Chains A and B, each alone.
Chain A
């Protein structure tokens, strides 16, 4: 969504695009021109406006995720089946983006942004600002997650994991709780995606499909799936490893991440955080036996 906004802003400020617009009657992003799309699709229109785009980044995924997942959870579609459905959805989306090249940019995605609300994105100061904005958003996200996890809702969700039937017969509607958590996750990923787009100057279908979705599961697994800090740690570690590995051995990257996942699941079920807690407990025990 942010990509659409940025692209339109880039288009509108670009002189050569303006020359073309005289010909087509309106400003069109460059890839639409190459694909002989002659008018801006109607669902692109709202993304001309920042007051629509920014709230939409938060609200649209929340509503979509809630409606979809509530429908699924109400029918008792859970665990593995739910993962399959969500992964399929992301695969469908990726295929759709590639297929509808004229309005989505296809395999190349949407790229080549220049400014955000008039601020040039290529300057160093803009990059530093974006870095700080991202870090603040990350901390805010962790704060909100921590608050939710420590509330009664957090305990209900743990209860659902332990014994969903019992929760149901304690008068809760578990589908509602699961859909709510799913919607929060959707908002966080949407914000994450928007920040990625603006910093990488790119939104492409290769970031939508099944592989990136599984990569995120691996972030959480490596860091420690029961810990908030663990998930962040995992994302940073795996992200760094990805950069190093894919720069040096591009083709081996996928195998590496596969082995990493198998290793973590088999030997470190609670990830790095689980390992650290175990080491701490071990040391405490040794201290205890010395006294």
Chain B
């Protein structure tokens, strides 16, 4: 049975003490899509990503990645299937160098004994350099992550995802705290890496969404409000109401 969607989310619900953060959501993601999820604060955007990558367990509904039901899997199992997640605040290993940050993110080996007897191969080193150049950190390989700027940490975390070659990348506010110039570079980066894989981006910055999104989904109070191209969504009366008030 083959599935034409990369990600298929059906009737997804999660409630925290009776409060439904995500409520009966259906969401389909096509291959090679760069899909932005927008919505006011508390719309359930981050919670949606949390459920896809296994950080939060849904109270109802199903998440299917390609042909696998991942609703009940552990985080590391979901990652190994090919889903990479970037967090809202940059999550890098401060005490390690950029090189080591990227190296640890390389998928082989992930076991305990494999890690003890790991030998760095040329192909891995080459891949690290490749990714570092892509994320504009080629000159910073030996710097510890702690001294990088906020924007550089965001890039590094995207690079760490690229090391895993995931088929689906989940990005939670990738340009938060970036300068205008950095935002442009990030948009170019996302457009480049979206070739051959699908990306879901959560973002508040509409200018940035305009630069990258092929398709936009608007969430409001845990429910799907509108879906389509950015132009279409912006014309939607309901969306205008939610964003501008009554």
Contacts and interface: CB of A to CB of B under 8 A. Distances in A.
Interface of A: 147-148, 151-153, 155-156, 158-159, 161-163, 165-173, 176-177, 180
Nearest to A160: B93
B105 interface: yes
Given A158-B96, A159-B104, A169 B79 contact: yes
Given A169-B75, A171-B80, A156 B115 contact: yes
A176 B96 CA distance: 21
9 contacts: A153-B112, A158-B95, A162-B94, A163-B91, A163-B94, A166-B157, A171-B76, A171-B107, A172-B76
A170 B100 CA distance: 13
B96 A159 contact: yes
Given A161-B95, A176-B111, 7 more contacts: A152-B103, A152-B104, A155-B96, A165-B55, A170-B105, A176-B112, A177-B115
A239 B53 CA distance: 49
Given A168-B76, A169-B53, A176-B112, A151 B117 contact: yes
Nearest to B119: A152
Contacts of A170: 79, 104-105, 160, 164
Interface residues of B, number: 33
The 6 A-B residue pairs whose C-beta atoms are closest, nearest first, are A152-B118, A153-B115, A171-B79, A166-B91, A162-B93, A152-B115
B242 interface: no
Most buried by B among A167, A168, A169: A169
Given A151-B117, A162-B96, A169 B84 contact: yes
Interface of B: 53, 55, 74-76, 79-80, 84-85, 87, 91-96, 100-101, 103-105, 107, 109-112, 115-118, 157, 160, 164
B116 A153 contact: yes
B135 to A, nearest CB: 16
A170 B91 CA distance: 11
Nearest to B160: A170
B118 A166 contact: no
Contact of A171 (B87, B95, B103, B110): B110
A180 B110 CA distance: 13
B75 A168 contact: yes
Contacts of B87: 165-166, 169
Nearest to A170: B105
Contacts of A152: 103-104, 109, 115-116, 118
Contacts of A165: 55, 87, 91
A170 B157 CA distance: 10
B85 A169 contact: yes
Nearest to A153: B115
Nearest to A162: B93
Nearest to A166: B91
Contacts of A158: 93, 95-96
A173 B74 contact: yes
Most buried by A among B93, B100, B117, B157: B93
Contacts of A161: 95
Contacts of A167: 104
B195 to A, nearest CB: 22
Contacts of A166: 87, 91-93, 157, 160
A155 B95 CA distance: 10
B73 to A, nearest CB: 12
A95 to B, nearest CB: 34
A168 B104 CA distance: 12
Contacts of B80: 171
B110 A162 contact: no
Nearest to A152: B118
Contact of A156 (B55, B84, B104): B104
Nearest to A74: B74
B116 A148 contact: yes
Given A148-B116, A151-B118, A159-B104, A172 B110 contact: yes
Contact of B93 (A147, A159, A169): A159
Contact of A162 (B74, B79, B95, B105): B95
A176 B100 CA distance: 20
A38 B216 CA distance: 80
Contacts of B93: 158-159, 162-163, 166
Contacts of B103: 152, 155
Contacts of A173: 74, 76, 110
Most buried by B among A155, A156, A176: A155
A172 to B, nearest CB: 5
